[in-house]
Amino acid sequence: MSPRRDYVGEAPPRHGLLCALCQASTSLTKAHIPPRSAENRGATVKRARPYIEDQVRRLEPPNEGGLWLRTLCQDCNGLASKYDGAYGDFAEALLPHVGGHPLTLPSRNGVPPVAVAPGRVARSVLHAMVALAPSFNVIDRRFVRDLLEDGDDLRLPGGMSLRVALTSDRHARIASAYHLHRVLGVRQDYEAFAEIYFRPLVWLLTGGPSTFGNSLPDQEGWGDATDWIAYTREAQRADLRDVLTRLPHTVHPSHRPGSADQWIEMSGPTSYVLEGRITS
Ligand SMILES: [Zn+2]
């Protein structure tokens, strides 16, 4: 008999019985996070779920197929995909600006002069985050409804900020509702309501600036894209330097040298983690 596997968060069949966006349909389709247009494709990205066995964190044997969850209905998936092109263009423009070894971190690089459609990219990211964190419906139903209606007057749930950084790491990870706390060395907190870590971009939906100044994104000076969602859908191109003041390179705290000893991960029944490897 094989030992019981304790997954980090819920097992896939229980992760969303209703569409995470419209809360109506039960006919769920594959939502790719990030969009396929950002190279999240079957042939180049292997996926694997982490689990705990004998108190050791392991990974399932990897499968091809990219990173996806079956949490959106076809209509809501179609709505989200309106913004996939803008996300893919932005990721492609940034790829030449990441390179080198992923563990040379962090550097407070200037923001590269690339084009971005901030309102469209933010919509793509937040649609993906709703697919990843169904508890959006519990904490701010207004936000989910506004996203579904696809209007122009969108705001993030109160007290939340959307942070962004670059990474050259080929390790990928999409996750929701967990915290990491650094318990050795400099005190650091990494609180993820939802997270998309997929080269060249890292997106983190997190709380506001922490009272004690221990937030890892604050300490490393990650970019703040919180107001991007307020940009109109029709604005096609802005210069990234006009909408972001910082864009450092980083590496996920769970993938740094010595991280297994230095950081503890706190997750609960609504947490979800899917990992992957970008092979191309
Ligand atoms: Zn739906």
pLDDT in tens, 15-60: 558 999 999 988 899 999 999 999 998 877 888 877 777 777 777 7
* Beta strand 171-182 pairing with 263-278: antiparallel
23 CA from centroid of ligand 1 (Å): 6
User: Residue 74 C-alpha to ligand 1 middle, in angstroms?
Assistant: 7
Asked whether 37 and 85 are in contact (CB, 8 A), the reply is yes
Q: Residues 167-180: what's their mean pLDDT?
A: 93
Neighbours of 11 (CB within 10 A): 11
C-alpha 132 to ligand 1 mean position (Å): 13
Confidence (pTM): 0.91
pLDDT band for 5, please (50, 70, 90 cuts).
low
Per DSSP, the residues of 11-60 read -GGGS-SS-TTTS----EEEEESS-GGGT--TTTEEEE-EEEETTEEEEP
User: Which whole number is the average pLDDT over 234-252?
Assistant: 90
Residue 196 CA to ligand 1 center (angstroms) comes to 21
Q: What separation in Å is there between the alpha carbon of 275 and the centre of ligand 1?
A: 25
How many whole angstroms from 75 Cα to the centroid of ligand 1? 6
